[in-house]
Chain A
Amino acid sequence: MTLETSKTDALNAPAPRRGLSDFQIRFLRSRNAMIGSIIVAFVAIVALLAPWITPHDPTKVSIMATWLPPGADHLLGTDALGRDVLSRLIMGARVSLTVALSVLAITMTFGTLLGMVAAWYRGHVDNVLMRFVDIIFAFPELIIAIIVAAAMGPGTFTVIVALALVWWPGIARMARALVLSLREEPFVEAGIACGTPTWRIMWRHLLPNIVSPMIVRASLGVGMIIMAEATMSFLGIGVQEPYPTWGGMIRDGLPNLRTDPHLALSASVALGITMIGFNLLGDGLRDVLDPKSRGR
C-alpha cells in the first residue's frame, strides 16, 4: 500500500519545469544565492539610477545645515559641509561598484590568462610568472596601493590600477592550480592527440572547465575589492572630493562619531550590507556550481 502511494506520488510530482536549466533550478533553491543576488541587484540598481534618485544634489554644500540629524528633509542627515548623506550614499554606491567591476574585469582577464599560460607551458614561463606573483604577494596590499597612488596621484583611475595590480596574482594562482590538474585529464590529452591547436585547447577544454570556480572566486572577491577601495578612500589616497565614496564618508564621520554618528554609521552599514550581499552570492554560487553536489 505504502509502496503504491509512493509510486503514485512520484508520478504526480510536478515534472521539472521546462526551459529552466539545472543551474537555474539549483540557484533558485539556494537561499544564500537568492538573498545575495537580491542585495547585489538592489545595490546595482541604486548605483545605475543614482543621478535620478538622489533626493538632493550630493555635492551641494550648505553652511547653514551642517551635521543635521536624520529628519524629514534629510532622511539620513547631513555632513560637516551640510551635504545630504543619503544622496552621497547613493552616489557612493556608483563609485564602489564601478571600481569593483573594473578591477574584476581587468584581473579576471589577465589573471586567468597568465595563470593558464603558466600552468600549460610550465618550465621557465611558469617560474618567471609565479615568482613575480610571489613578489607581489610578499608586499602588504596597502603598501602597493600607496606606492601606486604616490606615483600616479590619487583618483579613481589610480584606485583601479592599484587594486588590479594587487588583485591579479591571486586570480592567476587559482587559474594555474585549476589548469595544472585539468591538463592531465584524458579529454585534454585526447584534444592534443587529435591535433587541436594550443589556443583552442585553452578556449574549448580548459577555460569552460575552470569558469565556475573562477566565478565564485570573483563574486567573493567583489566584497574585498569594495572594502579595499573604501580603505584607500578612507586614507585619502582613493577617489577624491567632492566625489562621494563610502570610505571617504566613514573617514569624515569618524571624528564626530560620538556626537553625530549618522554619517560614519550609514556609510558603514551600506558597505557592510553590500559586502554581505556579494559574499552570500559567492557562497551560494559555490554551492550551486560545485560539481560534487551536482547530478541526480
Chain B
Amino acid sequence: MTAPLLKLENISKRFRVGNKELAAVNDVSLDVAAGETLGIVGESGCGKSTLGRMILRLTDPSDGAITFDGRDITRLSKRAMRPLRRDIQIVFQDPYASLNPRMKVGEIVAEPLVNIGMKRAEIAARVAEVLKVVGLPAESADRYPHAFSGGQRQRIGIARALAVKPRLIVCDEAVSALDVSVQAQVLTLLRDIQRETGVTFVFISHNLGVVRFLCHRIAVLYLGRVVEIGTEAQLFESPQHPYTQALLSAIPEAGAGRRGRIPVPSGEIPNPINPPPGCPFHLRCPRVQDRCRSEIPTLVSDAGGQAVACHFPGADADSPHQTLEDKRMTEGEAQ
C-alpha cells in the first residue's frame, strides 16, 4: 500500500472549559489514501468538526501528529503553513455564513488564487472554469452571494475549494444544511469532481445515508474516539460495534424494513467534560459488562481491515437487546 496522503496519529484536542478540560477529540488515528473518500460520522458533539478543523490547522491539536504527504504539519507556523494551504481546502456546513456577503462571487472564488500569486488574467479564466465545473453560469462571478439559493451557494463554496486544484478537501457537513433533492445534486457533483480530478475527500457528516453514497471508508466517532472504522461495505453489511449498529438502525429507509427492530441507544451522549470511565459507550450499550465500565477498549482490526473498539464486538442478532419501547414500558411501570 502506498503511503497515505493524510495521516493522523493519536490526535487529541482538549479545550479548557472553566477549570475543567473537555476532550473533544481523543487519541484518534486515521489514514486517508490519495483519491479516496473517508467518511467521518457521529452524533453532534462527538468531535467530528474539531477533527476536520485540525486537519486544516484552524485549531491546533493538543497531542499527536498530522502528516500530509509525508510531511509533519502539526507544528508548522502560520507562515510556513501558507504554501500548503493550496493543497488542503475546506467546504463548510453553512452555505450562508461561509460566503462573505460583501464580496462578489468572482472575488470569493478568486481569493485562494490571489493568495498563491496567480496573475489577474489567469485568475479570471480559472474562476470561470471552476464555476462551470460546479454548474454555475460564468455571469455569477459579478453577483453577490445573496442572489443565490442555498444549493447554489454551496456550489460557490465548492468552487472556491476547487479553484487552486487542492489534493485534499475536507467537507464539514457540506450538504447537511441543504434540501434533500439539492443534497443529491451536490453529492453527485462531489463524486464527479473526484472521478475527474482524483481529489481526496474527508467527508464529515452525521448522516449515514449521505456518507454511504460518497465514501469508500467510514470512521464512526463517539465522544471523540473512533469506535469503528472500515470500508463502506464492511460497515453497512457487518457492523461490529453496537453503536454503529444503532446508528444504522436509525436510518429510516435503510434500517427499518431490512433489519427489523434494532434499538436506538437510549439516553443522551455523555458530557465530554465528565466522560464515563471505561468504554465511552457503556452507559448506552445493550451489551455492557463489568469490563466495559473500567477498561477502555482499543481499536483492533481484523484481517479485512475493519477495526472496532469494543470488548464484545459482533453482529447484533443474538445480543439481549432492550428496545427503546421496551425501556419506556419498564420505566412506565416503575413509576
Complex CA gap A196/B53 in Å reads: 16
Q: Which of the residues A189, A195, A295 comes within 8 Å of B85, measured between beta carbons?
A: A195
- B61-109 interface with A by 8 A CB criterion: 81-83, 85-86, 88-90, 92-94, 97-103, 107
Chain B residues positioned under 8 Å from A196 (CB to CB): 111-112, 114-115
Question: Are A187 and B58 closer than 8 Å at their CB atoms?
Answer: no
State which size class the interface on A falls in. Answer: 10 to 19
**B225 interface contact, C-beta 8 A:** no
Q: Which single residue of chain B is at the shortest CB-CB distance from A295?
A: B146
Complex CA gap A213/B99 in Å reads: 20
Chain B residues positioned under 8 Å from A193 (CB to CB): 56, 58, 85, 88-90
Q: Which single residue of chain A is at the shortest CB-CB distance from B56?
A: A193
CB-CB under 8 A for A194 and B58, given A189-B92, A205-B100, A208-B102: no
Chain A residues positioned under 8 Å from B157 (CB to CB): 190
Q: Which of the residues B81, B100, B112 comes within 8 Å of A187, measured between beta carbons?
A: B100
Complex CA gap A91/B115 in Å reads: 52
Q: Which single residue of chain B is at the shortest CB-CB distance from A190?
A: B98
- A200-244 interface with B by 8 A CB criterion: 204-205, 208-209
* Minimal beta-carbon separation of B176 from chain A (angstroms): 13
**B217 interface contact, C-beta 8 A:** no
Question: Are B103 and A204 closer than 8 Å at their CB atoms?
Answer: yes
Q: Quick one: which of A185, A186, A194 has the most chain B CB within 10 A? A: A194
A-B Cβ contacts below 8 A, count: 64
Q: Which single residue of chain B is at the shortest CB-CB distance from A208?
A: B102
Contact with B along A155-188 (1 / 0, CB 8 A): 0000000000000000000000000000001110
Q: Which single residue of chain B is at the shortest CB-CB distance from A195?
A: B85
Question: Are B58 and A189 closer than 8 Å at their CB atoms?
Answer: yes
Question: Are A186 and B112 closer than 8 Å at their CB atoms?
Answer: no
CB-CB under 8 A for A190 and B92, given A185-B97, A209-B100, A209-B101: yes
Question: Are B86 and A187 closer than 8 Å at their CB atoms?
Answer: no
Question: Are B101 and A194 closer than 8 Å at their CB atoms?
Answer: no
Complex CA gap A191/B53 in Å reads: 13
Contact with A along B17-53 (1 / 0, CB 8 A): 0000000000000000000000000000000000001
Question: Are B98 and A187 closer than 8 Å at their CB atoms?
Answer: yes
Question: Are B160 and A190 closer than 8 Å at their CB atoms?
Answer: yes
Chain B residues positioned under 8 Å from A195 (CB to CB): 81-83, 85-86, 112, 115-116
Chain B residues positioned under 8 Å from A208 (CB to CB): 100, 102-103
**A192 interface contact, C-beta 8 A:** yes
Complex CA gap A228/B94 in Å reads: 46
* Minimal beta-carbon separation of A271 from chain B (angstroms): 37
Question: Are B97 and A186 closer than 8 Å at their CB atoms?
Answer: yes
* Minimal beta-carbon separation of A183 from chain B (angstroms): 12
* Minimal beta-carbon separation of A206 from chain B (angstroms): 10
Question: Are A192 and B58 closer than 8 Å at their CB atoms?
Answer: yes
* Minimal beta-carbon separation of B83 from chain A (angstroms): 8
Interface residues, chain B, CB within 8 Å of chain A? 53, 56, 58, 81-83, 85-86, 88-90, 92-94, 97-103, 107, 111-112, 114-116, 146, 157, 160, 164
15 A-B interface contacts by CB (under 8 A): A186-B94, A187-B100, A190-B92, A190-B98, A192-B58, A194-B86, A194-B112, A194-B160, A195-B85, A195-B116, A196-B114, A196-B115, A197-B115, A208-B103, A209-B101
